[in-house]
C-alpha cells in the first residue's frame, strides 16, 4: 500500500512539474513575442513616426487616446528629451490583469533609457495580445 501511495504521489508530482514547466515555457514565449513587438513599435517612435506608432498600437490604446492627441503628446515631449542614446532592457513581466484594463495577456517591459537631454529615464512599454492574436502596444510611459 505504501509503495502504491508513493508511486501515485510521484506520478502526481511529475505531472504537476511537467505542467508547471509548460506554463513557464509558454509565458517565456509570450514575453519574447511581446518584446519583439515593443522593439518594433519603439523604433517607430524613435524615428519620429508617431502616426504609424498609433496605427500599430492595440485597440485598447487607440480607444484611450486619439491619433491627434498621441502625435501632439509626443511632439511636445520627445524633442525636449532628444534622441535615444542608449536603451537597456531591464525586465519583462507577464500579467493577465492590469488596473483599469480588461483581463487579457499583457507584458510589462521596462528599459533604462538615456536620451540626449535626459539621463536615467525608465521607459515602460506594455504590449498586449490583441483580439486578432497579434502583440501590440497598449501603453507607454517615460519616468
CATH of 2-142, one of 3.10.450.100, 3.30.70.20, 2.102.10.10, 3.30.460.80: 3.10.450.100
CB atoms within 10 A of CB 71: 15
Question: For residue 111, what is the DSSP state?
Answer: E
Q: With H, G, I as helix, E, B as strand and everything else as coil, classify residue 86.
A: strand
pLDDT score for 1: 52
pLDDT digits (tens, 9 = 90+) for 32-91: 899 999 999 999 999 999 999 999 999 999 999 999 999 999 999 999 999 999 999 999
Residue ranges of the domains in the chain?
Answer: 2-142
Would the pLDDT of 13 be above 70?
Answer: no
Q: With H, G, I as helix, E, B as strand and everything else as coil, classify residue 55.
A: helix
pLDDT score for 125: 98
Amino acid at each position: 500500500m505504501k509503495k502504491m501511495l508513493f508511486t501515485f504521489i510521484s506520478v502526481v508530482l511529475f505531472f504537476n512539474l511537467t505542467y508547471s514547466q509548460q506554463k513557464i515555457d509558454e509565458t517565456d514565449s509570450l514575453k519574447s513575442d511581446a518584446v519583439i513587438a515593443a522593439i518594433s513599435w519603439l523604433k517607430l517612435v524613435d524615428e519620429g513616426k508617431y502616426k504609424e506608432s498609433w496605427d500599430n498600437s492595440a485597440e485598447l490604446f487607440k480607444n484611450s487616446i486619439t491619433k491627434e492627441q498621441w502625435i501632439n503628446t509626443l511632439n511636445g515631449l520627445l524633442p525636449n528629451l532628444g534622441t535615444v542614446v542608449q536603451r537597456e532592457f531591464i525586465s519583462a513581466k507577464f500579467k493577465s490583469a492590469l488596473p483599469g484594463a480588461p483581463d487579457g495577456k499583457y507584458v510589462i517591459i521596462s528599459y533604462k533609457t538615456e536620451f540626449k537631454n535626459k539621463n536615467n529615464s525608465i521607459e515602460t512599454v506594455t504590449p498586449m495580445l490583441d483580439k486578432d492574436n497579434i502583440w501590440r502596444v497598449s501603453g507607454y510611459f517615460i519616468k
